[in-house]
Structures are given as structure tokens and as C-alpha cells.
């Protein structure tokens, strides 16, 4: 496993990460880590590597874009001083372009997304032992679908930033694509965004495989 013993792993993102985590910091008892992939990552690490004592913290916030992450980055990432950081953001940046197309100020365009993610990584990477960047996704198997096509563009940005900075890259869209060969998107998420347990398990497995756990 890439994480050293007694590492603090902070996972940040939007509602897919949030999943009803505790406030102000998602850590502790009674589903403090939420009900999604973060809790599954923690459970697997504790079950398979109990000697490592990995400390997982969930700082996802529903509805967030990369712009929102920038606004809370100091308090929710830097001040908590993690050794490892996982970021999955971009779904709302794209989604607002399609579900509220006339409220253009709610969406985050590709250039701003790239610039902001790049700035956050540049600022934070030197303070970390490890960084994981996970793509946004849309559970739509037809790649010509306008929202799926746009989401893939944002995923490509994540790949570019990860490559530039030597971060671990997790292609969540590819993970869902493999399963959607056999399962309809509705079997994974009612709105093709917020995963059920199957979908969250896919995200957790993709993350765990990337850190060789």
C-alpha cells in the first residue's frame, strides 16, 4: 500500500463525497464519514490494514464546485494538515451548465476549472506525502451525449493536472463505463450522478486500487 502507517487521509469533494458526513469535520463515530465511498474506503483500510492505523477524514460538501473548494480550502484542507489528500470535484461545475442553463453564474467553465484546480494542487502538493485526483463522471454510456461529452473534457483536465504534478490519477468514468456494459445507469444512480451502494463501491474500489490497497 502506498500510504505509510498512521497517515491522515483527507477526502474532499461534492455531494458524492459528502454523503451526510458529520460537521464541521467528517471524522469520528456513528457514520461521521458519511454513507458513501469514503466510509467504504475507511472500512476496507481498517479491515485489511488494521496495523497501519490510517486516519480518514471526509470534507465533502454537497453542491460544491471547484470554485467552492477554493473558498474553503484553507479551513477544510490546509488547516487540517493531512499527509494524503484525495480530490474529486467537477460534477456540479458541469451539471449546472445543463440543469440550470440560464443561471450561468452557477456553473464553472472549463478554463476556470482548469485554472482553479491547477492552483489548488500547486499550492498544496508540496505539503503532502501523496495526492489523488479523481475525475468527475456522468453515468451515461453514450459518449456523444452533450453532458457526458462535457464531463469527459473536465476529466481530461484532471488527467492533465495529475500528470503534470505527479499525482495518482483515478478515472472514475472508466470505472462506471466498465459496469454500464452490463448494468443500466438507473441500476447505479437514479439521477445518473448520486450513486447507490453499487456505485459507491465502484468508487471505493477504484480509489483503493490506485493506492494499491
With contact defined as beta carbons under 8 Å apart, do 169 and 158 qualify? yes
Q: What is the pLDDT of residues 2-18, one digit of tens each?
A: 999 999 999 999 999 99
Looking at residue 92, its pLDDT comes to: 98
Looking at residue 43, its pLDDT comes to: 97
Active site residue 200: no
* DSSP secondary structure code for residue 26 in this structure: B
Torsion sign across C-alpha atoms 130, 31, 189, 73: negative
Active site residue 156: no
Q: What is the mean pLDDT of residues 53-76?
A: 98
| Domain ranges, ordered by start, for the chain | 8-210
Looking at residue 142, its pLDDT comes to: 96
CATH no., domain 8-210: 3.40.50.1110
pLDDT confidence tier of residue 139, bands split at 50, 70 and 90: very high
Active site residue 194: yes
pLDDT confidence tier of residue 36, bands split at 50, 70 and 90: very high
Q: What is the pLDDT of residues 169-204, one digit of tens each?
A: 999 999 999 999 999 999 999 999 999 999 999 999
Looking at residue 3, its pLDDT comes to: 97
Q: How far apart are CA 22 and CA 16, in angstroms?
A: 14
Looking at residue 97, its pLDDT comes to: 96
Residues facing 131 on adjacent strands: 85
Give the residue ranges of DSSP H helices in 19-64: 37-48
pTM across the whole model: 0.96
Single out the catalytic residue among 14, 15, 86, 114.
15
- CB hemisphere CA count around 31 (13 angstroms): 8
Q: Is 7 helix (H, G, I), strand (E, B) or coil?
A: coil
Single out the catalytic residue among 18, 42, 86, 194.
194
Q: How far apart are CA 77 and CA 98, in angstroms?
A: 29
Amino acid at each position: 500500500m502506498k500510504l505509510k502507517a498512521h497517515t491522515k487521509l483527507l477526502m474532499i469533494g461534492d455531494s458524492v463525497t459528502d454523503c451526510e458526513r458529520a460537521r464541521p469535520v467528517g471524522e469520528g463515530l456513528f457514520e461521521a464519514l458519511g454513507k458513501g465511498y469514503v466510509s467504504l474506503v475507511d472500512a476496507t483500510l481498517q479491515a485489511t490494514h488494521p496495523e497501519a492505523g490510517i486516519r480518514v477524514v471526509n470534507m465533502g460538501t454537497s453542491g460544491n464546485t471547484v470554485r467552492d473548494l477554493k473558498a474553503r480550502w484553507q479551513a477544510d484542507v490546509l488547516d487540517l494538515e493531512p499527509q494524503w489528500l484525495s480530490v474529486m470535484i467537477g460534477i456540479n461545475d458541469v451539471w449546472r451548465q445543463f440543469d440550470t442553463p440560464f443561471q450561468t453564474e452557477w456553473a464553472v467553465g472549463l478554463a476556470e476549472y482548469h485554472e482553479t484546480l491547477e492552483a489548488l494542487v500547486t499550492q498544496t502538493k508540496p505539503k503532502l506525502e501523496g495526492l489523488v485526483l479523481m475525475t468527475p463522471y456522468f453515468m451515461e454510456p453514450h459518449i456523444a451525449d452533450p453532458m457526458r461529452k462535457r464531463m469527459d473534457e473536465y476529466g481530461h483536465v484532471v488527467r492533465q493536472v495529475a500528470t503534470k504534478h505527479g499525482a495518482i490519477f483515478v478515472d472514475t468514468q472508466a470505472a462506471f463505463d466498465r459496469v454500464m456494459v452490463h448494468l443500466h445507469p438507473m441500476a447505479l444512480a437514479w439521477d445518473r450522478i448520486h450513486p447507490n451502494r453499487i456505485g459507491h463501491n465502484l468508487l471505493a474500489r477504484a480509489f483503493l486500487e490506485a493506492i494499491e490497497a
